[in-house]
Every structure is written in structure tokens, then in C-alpha cells.
Chain A
Amino acid sequence: EAGVAQSPRYKIIEKRQSVAFWCNPISGHATLYWYQQILGQGPKLLIQFQNNGVVDDSQLPKDRFSAERLKGVDSTLKIQPAKLEDSAVYLCASSLTQGETQYFGPGTRLLVL
């Protein structure tokens, strides 16, 4: 069974630029999560989808971050404009449904200069 796929694996941008990350969850998984992991910290949930609907985006900085999962499968996370403090690893996870074990992708490492 293929795992959670993410791309790109690495991205370097300058502040005020925009960037987008892509996530393909495990086939059949209805729930998808985006986490931000700053160096030296544990992952922090940014947004959770159930199919194509948002369940929780309370910790998403909505002035600059956006995410969508239009067809209930793939998802994209966008930052516009990026700030230095957005430098982090962005992890995508999926689960069969809410309440099931979350499986994580390898992450996208973002460096904002």
C-alpha cells in the first residue's frame, strides 16, 4: 500500500514570495491533516479535512495560509506571502476517517530567506 506522498520535498524562497505544497493521501482515506513543524518543536496542526470539507482550521494563519481539498483526495497548502517564521517542515497526514490512526508523509522542508 502506497503511503502519503508529498511534493516538493524541499523548497527555498525569499520572503514575500508565494509557495504551494501538494499532498496525496493514502487511497481511500477520508481525513487529511496539514501540520507545521518548526525546528526543535513538535508538529502543530494547521488544518483538518474530512473529505472535501474543513473540520478544523483554528490554528491556520488565514491571512497568509490557505488550503483546499476540492475533490476530497489531493490537497494543496499555500502560503502567500511567506515570512521568515514560516520556515518549517510541513507534514501531511491521512487517516481512514476521523478517529483512526494518522499516517504521515515525509514532509516538505521550507526555508524562507
Chain B
Amino acid sequence: AQSVTQPDIHITVSEGASLELRCNYSYGATPYLFWYVQSPGQGLQLLLKYFSGDTLVQGIKGFEAEFKRSQSSFNLRKPSVHWSDAAEYFCAVGASNFGNEKLTFGTGTRLTIIP
């Protein structure tokens, strides 16, 4: 069975600083990987996804993530954070032939932005 580990429960970053959120996955085959963001009281919004091809994936809101098979990682990065980036971030791995089914989520990383 697949699993996702987000080792950082809470991260605090200064506005304008760079950001990296860690995600490690466990899955026996080629994984389908996702990053979602959840603002308070809101549903999850897809930031980006990796199915195959280029291992550096660009997403919305200036985010990117890099798939590293050798490290079983899919870390999320942003060069300069904005106060509006404060939210909960979830990494997820999808299994099955279709890729999007049976998403398994990590426990999330809460991002706080300080002025």
C-alpha cells in the first residue's frame, strides 16, 4: 500500500524568503504525485501534479516541485513566499492505472508567514 510522509508539521517563513516543503512517498510502482493547498475553511486546491516526463513540475501561484525517484521525494518549492501563501499543504500519492484514484494524503504541513 502507498503512503506519504510530510516530516514537517509546521514551518514558519519570512515573507519574501524561499520555501521548501518536504514530501516522501512509498509506492511500489511509478507514483502519481500531487500537492494540494488548503486555506482555512476552504477545500483543497490542486497546486501541481506529476504523472511522468520532466521531473521538475511547474504549478500555480509560482510553486514548483521536483520528483526524485532515488530519494522517493517530491518536495514543493517557491522562491519567494507571499503572506497569502499561509495555509496547510498536503502531498498525496495516487495509485492505480488511472493515477488519480485512491489518493493517499500526508498529514500536511502548516505554513505560517511572518512579516
Contacts and interface: CB of A to CB of B under 8 A. Distances in A.
Looking at chain B, what size class is its interface with the partner chain? 20 to 34
Interface in B79-115: 90, 92, 97-108
Interface string A75-105: 0000000000000000101010011111111
Contact of B103 (A40, A102, A107): A102
Nearest to A96: B100
Given A104-B45, A105-B43, A106-B42, A42 B101 contact: no
A42 B43 contact: no
B52 to A, nearest CB: 13
B107 A41 contact: yes
A105 B41 CA distance: 10
6 contacts: A43-B105, A99-B97, A99-B101, A100-B100, A101-B100, A103-B46
Contact of B98 (A40, A99, A103, A107): A99
Interface residues of A, number: 24
Nearest to B92: A42
B22 to A, nearest CB: 15
Contacts of B100: 95, 98-102
A42 B108 contact: yes
A73 interface: no
Interface of B: 4, 36, 41-46, 49, 90, 92, 97-108
B57 to A, nearest CB: 14
Contact of A104 (B41, B44, B108): B44
B98 A42 contact: no
A106 B41 contact: yes
Contact of A98 (B36, B46, B101, B107): B101
Contacts of A100: 100
Contacts of B107: 40-42
Given A41-B107, A42-B90, A104 B43 contact: yes
